[in-house]
Amino acid sequence: MSDLRELYQQVILDHSKKPRNFQKLEGANRTAEGYNPLCGDDVTVYLQLEDNAIRNIGFQGSGCAISKASASMMTDSVKGKTKAEAEVLFQKFHALVTGEEDRTDDPGDLGKLAVFSGVSEFPIRVKCATLAWHTLRAALERKEETVSTE
């Protein structure tokens, strides 16, 4: 288990140092901002939504390694998905990091997002890990106001 944990930490570190899709997306038709005052993380998510599917996605922001890695992996995970599929993924991810995962669910569904399973042991980090996802959701729902995890 400690080997797995080390691997997970390496993946998170890698994504926080070299975030994927870390750019303001030209041609975005949805954007939302999120802020986690507990940690000082902020993120802006840019979406190009077409026919209810996420054609392209980018993000910008600053914050701790967890929030950045989570945003990076979130963008990788939802690119090409429909709104409904992204929502399902959000629910599963949320259950994972809050430790409310339904054990009968196949954790394989989450793919590499499973690296965030350790976050459930650190409640203060849950908001860091879910910030980008809440912001994605706001962008999909076209809420204009800034999302706060508080």
Residues 108-147 that bind Zn ion (CB under 5 A): 128
x/- mask, Zn ion, residues 53-72, rule CB under 5 A, reads ----------xx--x-----
Shorter beta-carbon distance to Zn ion: residue 28 or 35:
35
Distance CA 90, CA 30 (A): 18
Which of 8, 14, 39, 107 is the binder for Zn ion (CB under 5 A)? 39
Size of interface with Zn ion, in residues (CB under 5 A): 6
Shorter beta-carbon distance to Zn ion: residue 54 or 119:
119
- The string of DSSP codes covering 110-140 is GGGGGGGGGGGG-HHHHHHHHHHHHHHHHHH
Contact at 8 Å (CB) between 33 and 135? yes
Torsion of CA 82, 85, 89, 95, to 10 degrees: 140
Shorter beta-carbon distance to Zn ion: residue 79 or 125:
125
List contacts with Zn ion (CB under 5 A): 39, 41, 63-64, 67, 128
